[in-house]
Structure 1
Amino acid sequence: MSDYPDILILRHGETEWNRAGRMQGDQDSPLTETGRAQARRQGALLAAIGCDGYQWFSSPQGRAWQTATLANLNGAQITPDARLAEITTGDWTGLRFDDIRAQAPHLFELDDGLHWYDHAPGGEGLAAVAARTRAFLGDLTGPAVIVTHGITSRILRCHLLGQPWEAFDTLEGGQGVIYRIRKRQQERLS
């Protein structure tokens, strides 16, 4: 699909592992109080701009699902979709980012942005995330609120903006943020 409906993409709020600098991947840790406050703020922003008639989708991972539940002030049905899960990081899951850099310093010597995610031993790989997120977007039938994760959000936004997914690390991230994408234009709302 070349023209997508209006999309609001939320990244989950801060988790305990985010705060500790640990790789989460397909594992989970609970939202911190800051993360819960971020999700409630997302809900207030969504209520202010209005998203009636939007379908709600969320990664089934706990941190995203909890964020979706807290941000969903109008009580819309939330549909879990595994294609919105975060990239699987294999053997790096649970490690601190500093430990990953120590294990594989060669991956960080080049100014290659976040592409080191593609080298996680036993990990999913970025192309697989791009394929599943493109498939998800291809199934959309109207405007949507999507609650997901950092890497997944960036790759989704590349598709929606008409950019190659490999440019994902040129897009900003942030926890507890909302991006509105319409007509291949992005606006950060929080």
Structure 2
Amino acid sequence: MTSPDRRLVLMRHGETEWALLGRHTSTTEIPLTARGEVQARQAGAQLAELKLRDPLVVTSPRRRAHLTADLAGLTEDRRWDALTEWNYGEFEGLTTPEIREQVPNWTVWTHHCPGGETHEQVAARADLVVHTSEAALADRDVVLVGHGHFFRAVIARWIGLPTSEGRRFALYPAAHTVLGYEHGSRMVLTHNVTPQEGLR
């Protein structure tokens, strides 16, 4: 199903306690759960089946991301601040129901995060990631290891949609998405491929 050349793989980090509880996690360093470590290893086996072309592996600087890459058997080339999670500002550590007690009907896709990133800032960062990754694809496949909300924004921008349309792409812990091309157009080739262990 994936193109034999030029693939960009987005992989979310494995499960953490806050992810399990639905707590918004950006800058807070939360370790992987034991299940999250298993998920990362299972995901690594799935990525190996893709037979990626000399992959350039770039991770978020958050420990949960680069540990996921390590457990997946990926050789990290560098860490990049641009891959950090959406900055939730004052909503860091809160669940959506808790936030909605303050702001009815809140979602990260439709409302602001006081003290955090704006939609415009996230879109600009996602575009930077898309353009930088696309340039690297000329020589090798690219694997980015990072975070759910931000990678959903990257998927939307890859196919020319507004950042807000990231709401339409689920991305579970340690799941991966493969982006590429068909007839010269950017495509989502496979999406939200979850580890065999990672049942939801």
TM-score normalised by length of structure 1: 0.85
Instruction: Give the C-alpha shift of residue 114 in structure 1.
Output: 4.2
Q: Counterpart of 1:44? A: 45
Residues 50-129 of structure 1: pairs in structure 2 closer than 5 A: 50-71=51-72, 73=73, 76-105=75-104, 107-108=105-106, 114-116=108-110, 118-129=111-122
Greater share of helix: 1
Find out whether 1:158 has 2:156 as its counterpart. yes
Q: Counterpart of 1:185? A: 187
* RMSD over aligned Cα atoms: 1.9
CA distance in 1, matches of 2:42, 2:120: 32
Give structure 1 stretches of 5+ with no counterpart.
none
CA distance in 1, matches of 2:46, 2:114: 39
CA distance in 2, matches of 1:62, 1:77: 13
**3-state SS of the aligned residue for 1:119?**
coil
Q: Counterpart of 2:14? A: 13
CA distance in 2, matches of 1:18, 1:165: 21
Q: Counterpart of 1:146? A: 144
Give structure 2 stretches of 5+ with no counterpart.
195-200
Report the residue type matching 1:164 in the other structure.
P
Q: Which runs of 4+ in 1 moved over 4 A?
A: none
Count of residues in Structure 1 that have an aligned counterpart in Structure 2: 179
